[in-house]
A and B are shown apart, each in its own frame.
Chain A
C-alpha cells in the first residue's frame, strides 16, 4: 500500500476517518471518502496517468473536473468495464479498480510511443497525403492505423446494468450549484417555485468547494452549507447532485443524466445505474461556470503541467499536493489566487510568472505581501521532463530569447477563463466575443434561459451571487463577497517556441494537435474554423475541446490576420460530456425495444406446440409440427388437410375498423377502387385501395352489418395506415361526410374455418342456418357460436368453403376451444400462417410486401377489371399516368418448374433462359414473390412479377438466385393454380 505522501494533514472536504482502498494499473493505493480518483492519485503522487491519442505521449492530469482532457482510465473490468472514464469525474469508492489506456505493454513503456519519435512524419492530416498509391494497399495500412487509434477497450460482454427514464416538469431548472446556481435556486425556492437544481459534482457548491473564499464575512463553505440546508427543507425544490445536464433541446426540454449508483462499491438492488432525466422547464438558469484555459508552450503536455485552478482545487478541496515545487504562469489576476492557494497548501512557489508586462491588481499585491515575487513579461517556454515535469525553461516574452531553467515538478498555468456556454449554444443562443475577457460570452438566448455568473462572463463572486438571485426572482438576496479589483487579462494564445526549437506546443492535448498543426492547416487553406477542426481533429476528442477550442481558434485568427470574432466559433454539439448509451436507451432496449404483440389465442397456439413467426410486431402461429416433422412437411400436411378436410387459423391480427354514419357508403366508395354503394346489408365485399399516386395500398373485406354501419378489415401490415387515412380524409379532406370511424382491431378476434367440412362444424356450434342457400358466399350473419356472440362472414382466403368467425377478443379462447372440441371427430385441425400462405399462393392471392410492394398497380396484379371507371376514388387520376399504364410493366403470373420437381426459392430473380449470370449486368425479366410446394397440384409453384407476364403464359424462363447458386427453369402460368372457377368456395 502506497501512503498518501502528497496529502496534507489538515483541510479539504475529505473524510480522513474513511480511508478507501483502490488500485491503479494493478497497484494498490488508498484515498479518502470525498476523493475523486484523480485527487486520490494526486495525493499518492501519481503523475503519469495515460497516453495520448496519436503520439502516445505520457500524460498526466491537467484539470480537476469536466475539462480534463487526459486523465482517461478504464474503470472496472469485464462486462462492467467503463473505457475512457475521466478520473476527475470518478468518485472514489472502496475497491475501485482503474487501468490506464492506449499503451502496450505498460503505461511507462509504451511501444507505440515510437510514433511520437517519428512525430514529424505525422503532422495533422498526414493520412490524407500518403497511403494513396496503390489504393489496394490502403486496407493494410488502415488496419495498423485502426489498431493504433482508439482509446479504451470496450467492455467484454453485455451491459448487466439497468437504466431509467424520468420525466419532470419545473418552473425553474437551475444548471450548476455554484454560487450563482445556489443563489438562483434559493431565491426561486423561497418564492414557492418548483425548482430543480442539477449539479454534476457529488457535492453542491461548485467552485466554492475548491476556493478559499468568503461570503458575508464568513467562509463561503458556511454559506453553501446554510443554503443547501434551506433548499433541502423547501418542499418544491429538488436537488440533484451527480447529475449532468448534457442536452438542451427544443421547447425547453433539457436532458440530464444522474449517476445513481456509480459511486457505490456495491449497487443496492432495485436502483438503476443511471437515470436519464428529461426536464421540461418553464425557465432555465444556466449557472454552468467557466473553464480555465491552458497556455500553449513547448511540451505543455508533460505530466505536471496543470491548470492553475485545478492545482488549487486539488490543494483546497482535497488537501492533495500536485507537486512540491511549482512554477505558476498566468496572463490574468486569477493566477495569483492560485499561487497563493498553492503556497498556503504547502507547495513551494519556485517562480510566479505574469505574462503581462506590468501590473496585476489587488491579488498581485496580496501575492507580494505573501512573499511571492511575480516576474512580469515572463512565460514558460518549455516544460522539461518526460514522464513527469522536472523543470521549466522560462523566458521573457519581449524577445531576446534568453531562457533560464527553474527546477520544479509542477507548472500551474492560467490562460484566463472561458464561460461554459455549451447549453446556451445548444439552445441556439449566440456566442459573442468579449475582448475584456478574451472569451466568448453567451448572448441572445433563443429559448427561456438565462446565463448567470461565470457562465455569463462575470468572474466575481458577488456578481455571481447577485445575478443568480436576480435570475431566481429576488434581487435583494445578494450577499457581499471577497472580490478584488482585477487588472485586465492579456490575450496570449501561444508562447513562442524556445530558442532551441525543441518541443511540441499542444493546443488540443487529448488529440495531439499542436500550434504547428494549426499553422499547417492555415498554410494549406483549411482555415475556416470547421476545416481547422476537421483537418487537425482539434476539439474532436472525448473532451470536445473544452480547453482547446478557443486557443486553436485564436491562433488561426492570428495566422489569418483577423479578429477572433471574424473567424467565428465552432458549434457546441451535445452532449456536454459523454453519456452512456445505456442511459439513452433506458428500459426500452432489448426485449422492450419494441412491443411484442400476441393474439388473444397465443396461449392456445403455444399449448398446441406452435412454432411462431414474427410479422411486424406480431407473433403468429406459423405451423404446428408433429414430432419429427420438418417445417416443409408440416406446412404441406396442414395445407393439404385444409383442402381435403378442413382447418382453422387465427386471423386476429387483421385490422378491423368500425364505420358508422349516413355517409359511410360514400366514404367506402371513395376509398376503394370498386363500388360499395350498392352493397346490401348482410353482405361482404372484397375491396382494393390505392394511394393517391395510383399504386395499390391495401386490400380487405368490408361488410355492411347495418343500414349505416360497416365493418372493414385491412391487412395486418396496414391496419394503422388505413385507419389513419380514414381519419385524415374525414377530418381534413372531406369534413362534410357524416361518418365516424373507430379502430376495433384489438376488440375483435377472428378465426377462419376453411375446408370441405367447415360447414359441418359450423352447423354444430352456430345458432344460425349455415346452409349454402341461407348463408351463401360473401354473406354476413350474426349469431352465437358456442354460445358466444359472433360475427360470421362467408369469405375465403384459402379458396375453400370457408368462414371467418369474429368474436370479442376475450371470448376468442372459448371459441377456439369449442371449434377444436366439436371439430375433433370431423378431424378439423389448426393450421398456421405458413399453410395459409401455401393456400393463398395456390389461389394466386396477393399479400402486402411481396406482390403489393408499393410499386404495383391494380392492373399489374391482375385486378384491373375491378377498378371502377364510373366514380372517383383515391388514386383514380394518377393511376392513369403514362408510367403506370405503359407496356413492359411487371405483371403477376404463376411459375411452375419445368421439371415439376425443383422448388423455386423466394429469393429468385427471373431471366431469359440463355442469359449467363456472371460479372456483367444482364437483363432481368422479373422476380419471384412467393413460392411453395403445392400439395394440391403436387409440385412446387410460385408467384412472380414478370415483365408483360400475362402475355407470356407458357414461356420458359429461368428463376435464378446467384447468391445461393440456384437456377430453375420455369414455365410462366396463370397465378391461379387451384380451382380457377371458384367452385370450391361457392360449395
Chain B
C-alpha cells in the first residue's frame, strides 16, 4: 500500500485517497478549439517513470494534491498543493 504524503495532513495510507489521473493536463480556455479540448480530455503522456498526478484526500481533508510518483517503482518524490507545483 502506497504511503502518500498529503501536504496538509502528512503521510497517509493510499486507502485514504482517490486517484485523479494526470496532473499536468491543463483545462483549455473556454473558447479554445475542439481539438484542444479533445486533447485535454482524452490524450495523456502516460510516462514510464516520474508522473505528476492528482490525488484527492477523500477520506481525509478533502483536498486535491499533486503527487510526483514514479510509475515503475512507485517511489514518491514530491507532493504539492495545486498551484504550488514547481515547474
A–B interface present (Cβ within 8 A): yes
Contact A251 B3 (CB under 8 A): yes
- Residues 30 to 76 of chain B near chain A (Cβ within 8 Å): 30-32, 34, 37-38, 40-42, 54, 56, 58, 62-64, 73-74, 76
Closest to B30 in A: A872
Contact B3 A253 (CB under 8 A): yes
Closest to A734 in B: B27
- Residues 33 to 87 of chain A near chain B (Cβ within 8 Å): none
Residue A919 interfacial (CB < 8 Å): no
Contact digits for A936-960, partner B, Cβ 8 Å, 1 yes 0 no: 0000000000000000000000000
Closest to B29 in A: A872
Contact A253 B37 (CB under 8 A): no
Contact B56 A727 (CB under 8 A): yes
Contact B34 A881 (CB under 8 A): yes
B73 contacts across to A, CB distance below 8 A: 428, 446
Contact A735 B41 (CB under 8 A): no
| Interchain nearest-CB distance for B64 vs A (Å) | 5
Closest to A872 in B: B30
Most chain A CB atoms below 10 A, which of B20, B62, B63, B76: B62
Contact B82 A727 (CB under 8 A): no
Known: A731-B82, A876-B30. A251 touches B37 (CB 8 A): no
| Interchain nearest-CB distance for A31 vs B (Å) | 41
Contact digits for A728-748, partner B, Cβ 8 Å, 1 yes 0 no: 100111010000000000000
| Interchain nearest-CB distance for A871 vs B (Å) | 9
Residue A249 interfacial (CB < 8 Å): yes
Closest to A871 in B: B30
Residue A878 interfacial (CB < 8 Å): yes
Residue A877 interfacial (CB < 8 Å): yes
Contact B37 A692 (CB under 8 A): yes
Residue A280 interfacial (CB < 8 Å): yes
B83 contacts across to A, CB distance below 8 A: 735
In the bound complex, how far is the Cα of B72 from the Cα of A428, in angstroms? Answer: 11
B76 contacts across to A, CB distance below 8 A: 251
B20 contacts across to A, CB distance below 8 A: 728
Instruction: Name the interface size band of chain A.
Output: 20 to 34
Residue A15 interfacial (CB < 8 Å): no
Neighbour of A251 across the interface among B1, B27, B31, B54, CB < 8 A: B1
Contact B34 A878 (CB under 8 A): yes
Closest to B83 in A: A735
Closest to A882 in B: B34
Closest to B62 in A: A727
Known: A251-B2, A692-B40, A731-B64. A877 touches B54 (CB 8 A): no
Residue A348 interfacial (CB < 8 Å): no
In the bound complex, how far is the Cα of B74 from the Cα of A693, in angstroms? Answer: 30
Known: A250-B74, A428-B73, A692-B40. A727 touches B3 (CB 8 A): no
Residue B77 interfacial (CB < 8 Å): no
Residue A890 interfacial (CB < 8 Å): no
Contact A280 B3 (CB under 8 A): yes
Instruction: Name the interface size band of chain B.
Output: 20 to 34
B32 contacts across to A, CB distance below 8 A: 877
Contact B82 A877 (CB under 8 A): no
In the bound complex, how far is the Cα of B64 from the Cα of A880, in angstroms? Answer: 30
In the bound complex, how far is the Cα of B38 from the Cα of A303, in angstroms? Answer: 67
| Interchain nearest-CB distance for A670 vs B (Å) | 9
| Interchain nearest-CB distance for A886 vs B (Å) | 15
B31 contacts across to A, CB distance below 8 A: 872
A693 contacts across to B, CB distance below 8 A: 41-42
Neighbour of B63 across the interface among A428, A731, A733, A878, CB < 8 A: A731
Mostly helix, strand, loop or mixed at chain A's interface?
A: mixed
Closest to A693 in B: B41
Known: A692-B37, A732-B54, A877-B37. A724 touches B82 (CB 8 A): no
In the bound complex, how far is the Cα of B60 from the Cα of A258, in angstroms? Answer: 30
Neighbour of B56 across the interface among A251, A280, A728, A872, CB < 8 A: A728
- Residues 845 to 882 of chain A near chain B (Cβ within 8 Å): 872, 876-878, 880-881
Contact A878 B41 (CB under 8 A): yes
Known: A428-B73, A727-B56. A278 touches B41 (CB 8 A): no
Closest to B28 in A: A877
Contact A728 B64 (CB under 8 A): yes
Contact A250 B56 (CB under 8 A): no
Contact B41 A692 (CB under 8 A): yes
Known: A428-B73, A878-B41, A881-B34. A724 touches B56 (CB 8 A): yes
| Interchain nearest-CB distance for A316 vs B (Å) | 40
B63 contacts across to A, CB distance below 8 A: 727, 731
Closest to B56 in A: A724
Closest to B37 in A: A877
A250 contacts across to B, CB distance below 8 A: 1-2, 74
- Residues 251 to 278 of chain A near chain B (Cβ within 8 Å): 251, 253, 278
Contact A249 B56 (CB under 8 A): no
B2 contacts across to A, CB distance below 8 A: 250-251
A872 contacts across to B, CB distance below 8 A: 30-31
| Interchain nearest-CB distance for A808 vs B (Å) | 22
Closest to B33 in A: A877
In the bound complex, how far is the Cα of B62 from the Cα of A724, in angstroms? Answer: 8
Contact B27 A733 (CB under 8 A): yes
B58 contacts across to A, CB distance below 8 A: 724
In the bound complex, how far is the Cα of B32 from the Cα of A161, in angstroms? Answer: 60
Known: A446-B73, A733-B27. A249 touches B1 (CB 8 A): yes
A877 contacts across to B, CB distance below 8 A: 30, 32, 34, 37
In the bound complex, how far is the Cα of B57 from the Cα of A76, in angstroms? Answer: 46
Closest to B20 in A: A728
B30 contacts across to A, CB distance below 8 A: 872, 876-877
- Residues 8 to 31 of chain B near chain A (Cβ within 8 Å): 18, 20, 27, 30-31
| Interchain nearest-CB distance for B3 vs A (Å) | 4
In the bound complex, how far is the Cα of B34 from the Cα of A314, in angstroms? Answer: 75
| Interchain nearest-CB distance for A986 vs B (Å) | 36
Closest to B63 in A: A731
Closest to B40 in A: A692
In the bound complex, how far is the Cα of B32 from the Cα of A724, in angstroms? Answer: 25
In the bound complex, how far is the Cα of B1 from the Cα of A278, in angstroms? Answer: 9
Closest to B82 in A: A732
In the bound complex, how far is the Cα of B20 from the Cα of A878, in angstroms? Answer: 20
B18 contacts across to A, CB distance below 8 A: 724
In the bound complex, how far is the Cα of B23 from the Cα of A731, in angstroms? Answer: 12
Contact A880 B74 (CB under 8 A): no
A280 contacts across to B, CB distance below 8 A: 3
In the bound complex, how far is the Cα of B1 from the Cα of A253, in angstroms? Answer: 6
In the bound complex, how far is the Cα of B84 from the Cα of A596, in angstroms? Answer: 39
Contact A251 B34 (CB under 8 A): no
Contact B64 A251 (CB under 8 A): no
Neighbour of B82 across the interface among A278, A735, A876, A881, CB < 8 A: A735
The 9 A-B residue pairs whose C-beta atoms are closest, nearest first, are A872-B30, A251-B3, A877-B37, A250-B74, A731-B64, A732-B82, A733-B27, A692-B41, A253-B1
Beyond A692-B41, A881-B34, 11 additional contacts (C-beta under 8 Å) are A251-B3, A251-B74, A728-B54, A728-B56, A731-B82, A732-B54, A733-B27, A735-B83, A878-B34, A878-B41, A880-B34
A: residues with CB less than 8 A from B are 249-251, 253, 278, 280, 428, 446, 692-693, 724, 727-728, 731-733, 735, 872, 876-878, 880-881
Ordered by A's residue number, 15 sampled pairs between the chains whose C-beta atoms are within 8 Å are: A251-B74, A253-B1, A253-B3, A278-B1, A280-B3, A446-B73, A692-B40, A693-B41, A724-B58, A728-B54, A728-B64, A732-B54, A732-B64, A732-B82, A878-B34
